[in-house]
Amino acid sequence: MTSEAFNIGQLQSSRSLTNDLVESLRSKILGGNMAAGTKLPPAKDIEEQAGVSRSVVREAVAALKAEGLIISRQGVGMFVANKSQIQRFEIDSKEFSSIEDAVKILELRMAVELEMTSMAAKNRTNEQMAHIWDCLAKFDKKLAQGDDAVKEDLAIHLAIANASGNPYFARFIKFIGEGVIPAREIITDNETSVDSIEYLKLIQAEHKKIAEAIEAQEPEVARYATLEHLGNSRKRHLKIISNMKNQ
């Protein structure tokens, strides 16, 4: 199979043309527009279609090879890999429903999101800040309706990731998906003194502290607010584990 039908639009000037080209090619591959075995056109053709330099194409191809999305055949060219062989980092919210796993997820998030929110405070635009507040407002709306607001919670963290200026943070949050949000029932079912709505209000208050620090463009305050948010959740889960062991 050849790449005769390959077509990619001109990329707009941005912080990283390489990232833009990677995203464009990745979406074509994962979206089914380039079947397994399809040969990519020569680098020169991609350069002309996307309006980028040879080094941008070279870096984008290297990134996609590292992801396992394309493979090289010496002396022949680059080909789209078999999708069944593509391995993506992902956490299924159903798979991680235990208290112990929730703690592990929170520890993973702490390792990533402290820097993510700090960078968002440094790099966010007014438009991105408005989007963060819009996501918070949607969380409030779901909360008023008695909803668990899991999707809205994820959207808040994704909006912050986008504001960081580093597209890999957003990819990380997307790959984890809703598994990034530990099941609310872990806390509300095991702590009889905790009301589910009040628990969500507490989480939202912590979200707003992070957003306020990002809006004020105070990286260290944003980092601390994130540490407090995720650290408090981790402490609640560890307390439940401790109580279970002592029963």
Contact 45, 57 (CB under 8 A): no
Residue labelled with tokens 């208050």: 205
The fold for domain 99-246 equals Four Helix Bundle (Hemerythrin (Met), subunit A) (1.20.120)
Provide the pLDDT for residue 174: 79
Contact 11, 50 (CB under 8 A): yes
**Band (21; pLDDT cuts 50, 70, 90):** confident
Assess whether pLDDT exceeds 70 at residue 42: yes
Distance CA 78, CA 71 (A): 6
Provide the pLDDT for residue 172: 82
Q: Is 34 exposed, middle or buried (0-12, 13-18, 19+ CB in 10 A)?
A: buried
Closest CA to 181 of 163, 160, 202, 155: 155
Q: Is 126 exposed, middle or buried (0-12, 13-18, 19+ CB in 10 A)?
A: exposed
Residues 6+ apart with CB under 8 A from 13: none
> Residue type at 243?
N
Domain map of the chain by residue range?
17-85, 99-246
Contact 8, 24 (CB under 8 A): yes
* C-alpha distances in Å from residue 32, one per residue of 3, 68, 78, 82: 14, 16, 17, 11
pTM of the model: 0.61
Residues 6+ apart with CB under 8 A from 204: 136, 139, 140, 143
Give the tens place of pLDDT for each residue, 99-121.
777 778 788 888 999 999 999 99
The kind and range of the H/E element at 71 are strand 70-73
Give the tens place of pLDDT for each residue, 143-199.
899 888 888 988 999 999 999 999 888 888 877 765 556 555 555 555 555 567 788
Provide the pLDDT for residue 114: 96
The kind and range of the H/E element at 63 are helix 54-67
Distance CA 29, CA 167 (A): 18
Q: What is the CATH number assigned to the segment(s) 17-85?
A: 1.10.10.10
Other CB atoms within 10 A of residue 225 CB = 23
